[in-house]
Amino acid sequence: MTRFCGGCGAPRPSAEQRFCAECGTPFDAAAPAAIGVPAPPAPSPAPATPTYATTSAPAPWAPGAGTARPSYDYAEPARLADRSGEPRAKSPVGKIIGVGALVAAVAAGGLVGWQVLGSGGGAETPEAAVQGFVTALVEQDAVAALALVNPGEAAGLDDVYASASDRLRDRGIVGGDRITDALDVSVSGLEFEVHEQGQDVARIELVDGDYTVAYDPAAVPDSLSFVADEEPDPREWSGDIVDDIGWELPHATVDGEHPEPFLSAVRVDGGWYVSLVGTYVDYLYTEVAYWEEWDVSSPDFDAASEEVEPIVGETPEDVVGNLVDAVNSGDVEDLLANLPEDQVRVLRPYARTLQGVLREEGVGFDISVDGLDLETEERGDQVVVTVDRAEVSAGVRSDGSEDWGAASIDGSCLTGTEEDGDQETVCLDQEVPDYLGLDSLRFVLTKTDGGYQVDPLATAIDYATTIIDEAPDSAIDSAIDEICYGAIYEERCYA
């Protein structure tokens, strides 16, 4: 009995089955020479009537014969074979394709798994990170933009994005997933110059590139119809990105020169990301250094690659105490060690620069915080801390002079005491909670290394999402009215 089909190589499930269920070839008509079973007898020359019985075929079954009826595969009669009875040479192509496809699928599965589980994100080069980020912004692709932002800085931005887009969609200002379809921006010829500032930090300057903006008044949302009224015709304009952004930079000069716009990139876990915080601080430093306000030392960009032992607190009160100690010590690096590493890493190069400026100016702090009464609320791996009561006194020394002040926080009221003893109390009146949803002073802690640290980004995001979520519709409408008036200077904006 042949154990495999001579036509396609499919296995023969039982001796009773005479035709291959896969390709229909009679099992005993074509010999599977390549699989080590005896060759079948030579076929008879082109029989007029196909012969299905072979010497190995069982005797026909008859009812009452005392044997069980043999089972056959009736499921796919159309697949049953050609009836010529001629032996067909076995084709290995199917097997080759099948095995090749299986190997390719296993390899591709490994690649996908590695890309998803093992490989980190980010871009391979700082230039690719910036180019991808700029393209994502132009294309209004929030996923691509977020994927290229330093993860420590991007955490929580999705909360703000979700809150803002929900509110704006509710008010009919945006539709779909694009910020607006009325402006279609495209860029071309982007060229960058990479300045490797340190092992894991780079500044990427945009040295060339053009942009085109196409305006379609028909796509302007109804709530911004004043824009379409003011600009009723479609138009398109273009320009040089480097010039148009460069002239807007703070340290552009009046003698016909402007700096090249740039973004900072940082390497995290092998991948390069755009650092928005790093970019801001780099601009700030460049500005200060340009105008030579202080004799600032150059940043030590390799400090961003150093391993730093985080300073954590076991309780929210400890965290506040650690921060106060760091500020009083005047050690900027200590202060940064109290904050989440992935957020402040890009600031560390400037720590010594800032410390030098503080020393040169003779600046020092003497802060104390007493009578803390804090309320905590767990939120995943974060803790939202509300300050119910606190007594704060702060002294600032600078070039021999010293200023002192104190503040007492009690719920939503803050009482300030000046050096001469004058006191003033400011409370969040009902309008502020109603309008902004803010009714207390609070900050967010992040769990890290068995303790807690103040998370400035999470705190800012907490305030931002609260304001966006809680602001009444009238506040958004008022803001649009202001934008309208600012754009067209007409009273009808307030109608």
Q: How many angstroms separate the CA atoms of 462 and 159, rounded? A: 9
Q: How many angstroms separate the CA atoms of 149 and 191, rounded? A: 20
The nearer residue to other proteins, 83 or 352, going by C-beta atoms, is: 83
**Helices 473-488, 157-170: inter-axial angle, 10-degree rounding:** 80
Q: Please report how close the Cβ of residue 181 comes to other proteins at its closest, in angstroms.
A: 9
Nearest-5° angle of CA 211, CA 217, CA 218?
Answer: 125
Q: How many angstroms separate the CA atoms of 485 and 226, rounded? A: 9
Using DSSP's 3-state secondary structure scheme, residue 477 falls into helix
Q: Quick one: which H or E segment has residue 398?
A: strand 382-398
Sign, CA dihedral 329-331-333-335, equals: positive
Q: Please report how close the Cβ of residue 469 comes to other proteins at its closest, in angstroms.
A: 12
Using DSSP's 3-state secondary structure scheme, residue 415 falls into strand
The nearer residue to other proteins, 51 or 298, going by C-beta atoms, is: 51
The nearer residue to other proteins, 81 or 392, going by C-beta atoms, is: 81
The nearer residue to other proteins, 271 or 278, going by C-beta atoms, is: 271
* Both tokens assigned to 333: 């690096």
Q: Quick one: which H or E segment has residue 113?
A: helix 93-113
Q: Please report how close the Cβ of residue 453 comes to other proteins at its closest, in angstroms.
A: 18
Half-sphere exposure for 319 (CA within 13 Å, toward CB): 24
The nearer residue to other proteins, 53 or 413, going by C-beta atoms, is: 53
Q: Please report how close the Cβ of residue 173 comes to other proteins at its closest, in angstroms.
A: 16
The nearer residue to other proteins, 17 or 328, going by C-beta atoms, is: 17
Q: How many angstroms separate the CA atoms of 239 and 244, rounded? A: 7
Sign, CA dihedral 282-283-288-289, equals: positive
> How many Å separate Cα 396 from the centre of its chain?
40
Q: Please report how close the Cβ of residue 296 comes to other proteins at its closest, in angstroms.
A: 34
The nearer residue to other proteins, 121 or 330, going by C-beta atoms, is: 121
The nearer residue to other proteins, 29 or 357, going by C-beta atoms, is: 29
The nearer residue to other proteins, 10 or 476, going by C-beta atoms, is: 10
3-state SS of 458-476 is HHHHHHHHHHHHHCCHHHH
Q: Please report how close the Cβ of residue 92 comes to other proteins at its closest, in angstroms.
A: 10
Q: Please report how close the Cβ of residue 433 comes to other proteins at its closest, in angstroms.
A: 23
* Tokens 């700029």 sit on residue: 134
Q: How many angstroms separate the CA atoms of 466 and 441, rounded? A: 13
Nearest-5° angle of CA 353, CA 357, CA 361?
Answer: 170
**Could you tell me which of 175, 108, 86, 179 has the C-alpha nearest to residue 139?**
179
Q: How many angstroms separate the CA atoms of 334 and 322, rounded? A: 9
Nearest-5° angle of CA 459, CA 464, CA 466?
Answer: 95
Q: Please report how close the Cβ of residue 490 comes to other proteins at its closest, in angstroms.
A: 33
Binding residues for other proteins, per CB under 8 A? 7-8, 10, 18-19, 21-25, 50, 52-53, 60-61, 72, 74-84, 88, 91, 93-95, 97-99, 101-102, 104-106, 108-109, 112, 115-116, 121, 132, 135-136, 139-144, 146-147, 151, 154-155, 157-159, 161-163, 176-178, 184
The nearer residue to other proteins, 139 or 481, going by C-beta atoms, is: 139
Q: How many angstroms separate the CA atoms of 445 and 315, rounded? A: 10
The nearer residue to other proteins, 313 or 340, going by C-beta atoms, is: 340
Q: Please report how close the Cβ of residue 351 comes to other proteins at its closest, in angstroms.
A: 27
Answer whether 327's CB lies under 8 Å from 369's CB: no
Q: Please report how close the Cβ of residue 94 comes to other proteins at its closest, in angstroms.
A: 5
Neighbours of 259 (CB within 10 A): 19
Q: Please report how close the Cβ of residue 237 comes to other proteins at its closest, in angstroms.
A: 19
